[in-house]
Amino acid sequence: MVSIMIKKLINFVKEYDSKDDREPRSKKLFGLAALYNTPNEIITAAADVAGKGYEKFDVYTPYPMHGMDDAMGMKSSKVGYVSFALGLTGMCLALLMIWWMSSVNYQNIIGGKPFFSLPPAIPITFEGTVLLTGIATVFGMLILFNQLPKINSPLNDTDFMKRVSSDKFGVVIKADDEKFSDSEVRKLFLSGGAFEIQEIYYRETNLGIKTPIFDGKFISIIFATAILTAIITYITLNIVLYDVVPFDWMWKQAKINSQSKSDFFPNKAGMREPVNGTVARGFLPYEYKGMPDSSVKLLSNPLAVSRKVLERGQERFNIYCSPCHGYFGEGDGRMKDQFPKPPSLHNQKVLNWSDGNIYHVITNGQNVMPSYAEQVSVDDRWAIIHYIRTLQRSKNASDEDLTKAK
Amino acid sequence: MSFDSTYTRELPLVEAKKSFKEIDEVIALPTETKPTKGWWIAFSISSTALLIGAFCLSLTFYYGIGMWGNNNPVGWAFDIINFVFWIGIGHAGTLISAILFLFRQKWRTGIARFAEAMTIFAVMTAGIFPIIHTGRPWLAGYLLPLPNQNGVWVNFSSPLLWDVFAVSTYFTISFLFWGIGLIPDLATLRDRTTSKIKKTIYSVLSLGWTNSNRNWSNYERAYLILAGISTPLVLSVHTIVSFDFAVSVLPGWHTTIFPPYFVAGAIFSGFGMVSTVLILVRKVFNMEHIITIGHLEKMNKILLATGMMVGYAYGMEFFIAWYSGNTFEQFVFINRAFGPYAWAYWTMVSCNVIFPQLFWFKKIRRSIPITMVLVILVNVGMWFERFVIIVTSLHRDFLPSSWAMYYPTLVDLGLLLGSFGFFFTFLLLFLKTLTLVSISEIKAVVEGAQPTIHPHPGGNGQHHD
């Protein structure tokens, strides 16, 4: 049973294989083709054809022939320009990639070396140059310069082509050349020693409107392949490779996140809390915690005023204090009507306060204002205070300040 | 034109046009006939080896790389040895197809296609090893700078990353080079075949090539450019492979001679492999007239030259170790030659430096059986060179308390065998399906193939010669 079916299948394939598949040709002439026996004959014929002023002609040889370009009056090939342009692009792209990735986008300290330097970038830049040059050369040559693929060229699948891809040499003058005339061309060929002249006609598909891309069969084949690929991919990824970590851009990783549950630890939390008494950098505990104002008179601002400090203070103030106190400390923050309105920082009380008092308010809080000791580091608090002083002074500037500012 | 006459002397036909047909027939024959018994035997051996390799690989995937003998302090062993070995084999192909092309060595046409195919299969084989060496090969995509959830990129100052770029570029360029070389031949096969299915396949693969001279002109320029860029590329690839070692700080690896030494070794081993296989192939496919003894002799000369370069490097390493006054460096080399792996060291020296000296004699260069034995020894020697470099440097480093010996496991050996199986299976399939000598290139160098006059449009042709 099975063997009969297999035999039938084999017979079917054999029959299909041996069918003549020459496409029907139209009545429209593509050109006249002549065949020659020797390299010397063909090269002279080529020079003759070019010399007679024909432009749409070509020579067909089984291998590249020296001097043929000159004989045909051709300029030398321009493939090199494309290679050069893309090679240069490859070089720049590789260099830019290395520079951007390692020194801009994600600075990774490796052996204390500079984030970007030329010598270690050279190998990859070189490879990038070569890669793009090569790809540009090949695809530029094939697609841009030779207009390939062109499987249904009128010349293919003809006796002429079978001869010139083996041991004969041929010339074709196309029918759409301005000077083309059947009898003239034949005369020219014969005078050059052609042993055979063939007429080459367009294929029907060369002329017709029917493009194979919209062919029903073609579309259904594409469709079937797409569905099949999808099914196979689904099965391999989800069933066969089920246990394997998929290639998911590192989204899922074999690690416990700080917010997730873990059965490994007694308290079932994935997060590991610091040991009791751990002090984070920049967050030294406050010695006057919970004490009244009066006890902190001794604290003084350890930071010297500088542009950097003031800018830092401004940044922190805008982040942490401005929601309530407003950008200029006037108590008109964006939390208006949602939180008790704080007093202006330009009132006499705060103007007279020492820096230590403001520090105390930030660190300890005051009535409804909560403590900011958790969010703002010690140094940042002092920077904010410098900035508040700047705001105060700018609100109450004296004439002297104005002349100085000029 | 002495090169051209190499072919005509042995091709029995005088008339150029007749010999073109014969070239077609001889070269296309393997693709047009059923495989011979010899081919089937070779294929079954190589596919068995491939299956053994596949089995060992599945063991590795299932249990992890603990199946290998790698262990502290020898963290790099068969995996990296095989990688360097196979990537080196590939270099001969590019040398023949690109460098010899630039030097206008016409004798290369007989062996170029085959050697290029070997390059591709060797690089494919080589590529397996660093990937499985990572332990989780299914994540190998991250060897490339791909965007990911952690926002982190690869380390661009690591030679291992340079390797990724070098090897993948090398494969791509070799493949393109080989591919465009095949286009005209596929067109010839397309026009020869009577089978509809084959014709369709060849038509598609040849992209509808028409042998037009306007196409040839661009084609030849592209070929020249590819040869031009492949030449520095092939030198860069093994240079970068050598950086994997030289950029580290291990005695025995940290030397400036590594890049040229590795490149010479790569060419040496590649020619060894090309000769080994060609000797068999020309016999099996009756191509003694196209791949002549002259070819083998020339390759033997290259083997002699590169073998001595490698020998020079061995000597120079010793000299520098002594001259540097560095005790660690000195110890490593004395340990190589007289330590527990001395047998490997002396296998390497004798196979790579001593035996190839026989190629000084013309009789031996032209004797096929002796050449066969010597080139197989070259393969063995070059594999051991990598073994010596990698294992002896690692197994005894700065800290004597962590010294240990390395022993491969059965899985290691199976993978080595499997790599040969992989390579030869591809090679055998290539021999049967594509042309193993470039038809169009061979035709171009047959005597009488090129015109003796060079006319210009309108003007009279002037004779030369």
The 10s digit of each residue's pLDDT in B251-268 is 999 999 999 999 999 999
Residue closest to B171 by CA, chosen among B226, B50, B84, B90: B90
The mean per-residue pLDDT over the stretch B141-153 comes to 85
User: Do A221 and A172 sit in the same domain of this protein?
Assistant: no
Can you read off the two tokens belonging to residue B275? 């000769």
According to the model, what pLDDT value does residue A297 have?
A: 66
Phi, psi of A174 (to 5 degrees): -80, 150
Chain B residue closest in CA terms to A137: B222
User: Do A32 and A107 sit in the same domain of this protein?
Assistant: yes
| pLDDT level of residue B236 (50, 70, 90 thresholds) | very high
Cross-chain Cβ contact A60/B213 below 8 Å: yes
Which of A77, A95, A242 to substitute to test the interface with B, most B CBs within 10 Å? Answer: A77
Q: How far is CA B239 from CA B236, B268, B276, B448, in A?
A: 5, 15, 25, 42
- Would B33 be classed as within a structural domain? yes
Rounded CA-CA distance B246/B248 in Å is 5
Has residue B9 got a pLDDT over 60? no
According to the model, what pLDDT value does residue A402 have?
A: 78
Average pLDDT value for chain B: 88
Can you read off the two tokens belonging to residue B285? 């496919």
State pLDDT tens for residues A187-229: 888 888 888 899 899 887 777 655 556 677 878 888 999 999 9
> What is the radius of gyration, based on Cα positions, of chain A?
42
Cross-chain Cβ contact B145/A101 below 8 Å: yes
| pLDDT level of residue B14 (50, 70, 90 thresholds) | very low
The mean per-residue pLDDT over the stretch B337-363 comes to 94
User: Do A89 and A153 sit in the same domain of this protein?
Assistant: yes
User: Do A400 and A360 sit in the same domain of this protein?
Assistant: yes
Chain A residue closest in CA terms to B455: A71
Has residue B336 got a pLDDT over 50? yes
According to the model, what pLDDT value does residue B460 have?
A: 55
Rounded CA-CA distance A171/A61 in Å is 9
Rounded CA-CA distance A132/A83 in Å is 8
Cross-chain Cβ contact A166/B188 below 8 Å: yes
State pLDDT tens for residues B425-441: 999 999 888 988 888 88
Query: Which CATH number is B53's domain given?
Result: 1.20.1630.10
How many domains are contained in chain B?
1
- Would B244 be classed as within a structural domain? yes
- Would A14 be classed as within a structural domain? no
- Would B99 be classed as within a structural domain? yes
- Would B251 be classed as within a structural domain? yes
Q: Which residue(s) pair with A172 in the sheet?
A: A33, A58
Phi, psi of A170 (to 5 degrees): -135, 160
Q: What is the secondary structure of A105-165 as a DSSP string? A: I-----TT--S--HHHHHHHHHHHHHHHHHHHHHHIIIIIIT----TT-TTTTSHHHHHHT
B356 or B26: which leads in pLDDT: B356
- Would A281 be classed as within a structural domain? no
Has residue B461 got a pLDDT over 60? no
- Would B450 be classed as within a structural domain? no
Instruction: Please check whether residue A245 is in contact with residue A254, taking contact to mean a CB–CB distance below 8 angstroms.
Output: yes
Has residue A337 got a pLDDT over 80? yes
* Chain B stretch 234-263, residues whose beta carbon is closer than 8 A to a beta carbon of chain A: 236, 240, 243
- Would A92 be classed as within a structural domain? yes
State pLDDT tens for residues B299-328: 999 999 999 999 999 999 999 999 999 999
Q: How far is CA B199 from CA A363, B189, B191, B244, in A?
A: 85, 8, 8, 47
Rounded CA-CA distance B264/B308 in Å is 9
Q: Which residue(s) pair with B10 in the sheet?
A: none
Which of B136, B212, B438, B439 to substitute to test the interface with A, most A CBs within 10 Å? Answer: B212
- Contacts from A329-332 at CB under 8 Å and sequence distance 24+? A329/A388, A329/A391, A329/A392
- Would A9 be classed as within a structural domain? no
- Output the CA angle B389-B66-B59, nearest 5 degrees: 110
Query: Which CATH number is A305's domain given?
Result: 1.10.760.10
Can you read off the two tokens belonging to residue B165? 């770029």
Instruction: Please check whether residue B35 is in contact with residue B43, taking contact to mean a CB–CB distance below 8 angstroms.
Output: yes
Cross-chain Cβ contact A64/B221 below 8 Å: no
Residues in B touching A65 (Cβ below 8 Å): 213, 216, 444, 449-451
Residues in B touching A111 (Cβ below 8 Å): 157
According to the model, what pLDDT value does residue A36 have?
A: 92
According to the model, what pLDDT value does residue B392 have?
A: 93
Residue closest to B131 by CA, chosen among B85, B169, B82: B82
Axis crossing angle, helix A118-139 with helix A79-100, rounded to the nearest 10: 150
Residue ranges making up the domain that contains B373: 26-445
According to the model, what pLDDT value does residue B395 have?
A: 93
According to the model, what pLDDT value does residue B6 have?
A: 44
- Check whether the bond before A292 is cis (ω within 30° of 0): no
State pLDDT tens for residues A374-388: 889 889 999 999 999
- Would B8 be classed as within a structural domain? no
State pLDDT tens for residues B47-94: 999 999 999 999 998 888 999 999 989 999 999 999 999 999 998 888
- Contacts from B40-44 at CB under 8 Å and sequence distance 24+? B42/B424, B42/B428, B43/B425, B43/B428
User: Do A77 and A107 sit in the same domain of this protein?
Assistant: yes
Residue A234 one-letter amino acid: Y
The burial of B388, by beta-carbon neighbours within 10 Å (0-12 exposed, 13-18 middle, 19 or more buried), is given as buried
Which of A158, A185, A210 is the last residue in one of the domains?
Answer: A210
Q: Where does residue A93 fall: left (phi above 0), alpha (psi -120 to 50 degrees), or beta otherwise? A: alpha
User: Do A160 and A268 sit in the same domain of this protein?
Assistant: no
Can you read off the two tokens belonging to residue B440? 């169009």
A401 or B296: which leads in pLDDT: B296
Residue B152 C-alpha from the chain's centroid = 35
A17 or B176: which leads in pLDDT: B176
Average pLDDT value for chain A: 86
Closest CB to B139 among A80, A138, A245: A245
Has residue A248 got a pLDDT over 80? no
Rounded CA-CA distance A115/B233 in Å is 27
Instruction: Please check whether residue B350 is in contact with residue B337, taking contact to mean a CB–CB distance below 8 angstroms.
Output: no
User: Do A104 and A146 sit in the same domain of this protein?
Assistant: yes
How many domains are contained in chain A?
3
According to the model, what pLDDT value does residue B5 have?
A: 43
Can you read off the two tokens belonging to residue B424? 């030869």
Q: B4-34 in b/e burial notation, b at 16+ Cβ within 10 A?
A: bebbbeebeeeebbebbeebbebbbebbeee
Has residue A276 got a pLDDT over 70? yes
In angstroms, the separation between the Cα of residue B305 and the nearest Cα of chain A is 28
Can you read off the two tokens belonging to residue A10? 């084999």
User: Do A45 and A184 sit in the same domain of this protein?
Assistant: yes
Residue A26 C-alpha from the chain's centroid = 47
Which of A210, A234, A249 is the last residue in one of the domains?
Answer: A210
Cross-chain Cβ contact B191/A73 below 8 Å: no
Which of A210, A229, A261 is the last residue in one of the domains?
Answer: A210
Can you read off the two tokens belonging to residue B69? 């003998």
In angstroms, the separation between the Cα of residue B207 and the nearest Cα of chain A is 4
Edge-to-edge strands of the sheet including A25-36? Answer: A57-60, A169-174, A25-36, A196-203
User: Do A106 and A188 sit in the same domain of this protein?
Assistant: yes
- Contacts from A372-380 at CB under 8 Å and sequence distance 24+? A372/A320, A373/A283, A373/A286, A374/A283, A375/A320, A376/A316, A376/A320, A377/A282, A377/A283, A378/A282, A378/A283, A378/A284, A379/A282, A379/A303, A380/A282, A380/A312, A380/A313, A380/A316
* Chain A stretch 212-241, residues whose beta carbon is closer than 8 A to a beta carbon of chain B: 241
CA atoms A131, A133, A134, A138: torsion sign: positive
Residues in B touching A35 (Cβ below 8 Å): none
Residues in B touching A152 (Cβ below 8 Å): 208
Task: Indicate the SS3 state at residue B343.
Answer: helix
According to the model, what pLDDT value does residue B60 have?
A: 92
Cross-chain Cβ contact B215/A146 below 8 Å: yes
Has residue B99 got a pLDDT over 60? yes
State pLDDT tens for residues A141-179: 998 998 888 888 888 888 899 889 888 999 999 988 888
State pLDDT tens for residues A300-335: 788 888 999 999 999 999 999 999 999 998 888 888
Rounded CA-CA distance B52/B418 in Å is 6
Has residue A295 got a pLDDT over 70? no
* Chain B stretch 121-160, residues whose beta carbon is closer than 8 A to a beta carbon of chain A: 136, 138-139, 141-142, 145-159
Has residue B16 got a pLDDT over 50? no
A230 or A148: which leads in pLDDT: A230
Residue ranges making up the domain that contains A325: 296-405
- Would A6 be classed as within a structural domain? no
User: Do A62 and A201 sit in the same domain of this protein?
Assistant: yes
Q: What is the secondary structure of B13-48 as a DSSP string? A: ---HHHHHHHHHHHHHHHHHSPPPHHHHHHHHHHHH
Closest CB to A165 among B147, B156, B191: B191
- Would B457 be classed as within a structural domain? no
B413 or A357: which leads in pLDDT: B413
A 10 A CB-CB count for B135 gives 12
Percent of chain B with pLDDT over 90: 60
Has residue B135 got a pLDDT over 80? yes
Instruction: Please check whether residue B224 is in contact with residue B247, taking contact to mean a CB–CB distance below 8 angstroms.
Output: no
- Would A338 be classed as within a structural domain? yes
Task: Indicate the helix (H) or strand (E) that contains A169.
Answer: strand A169-174
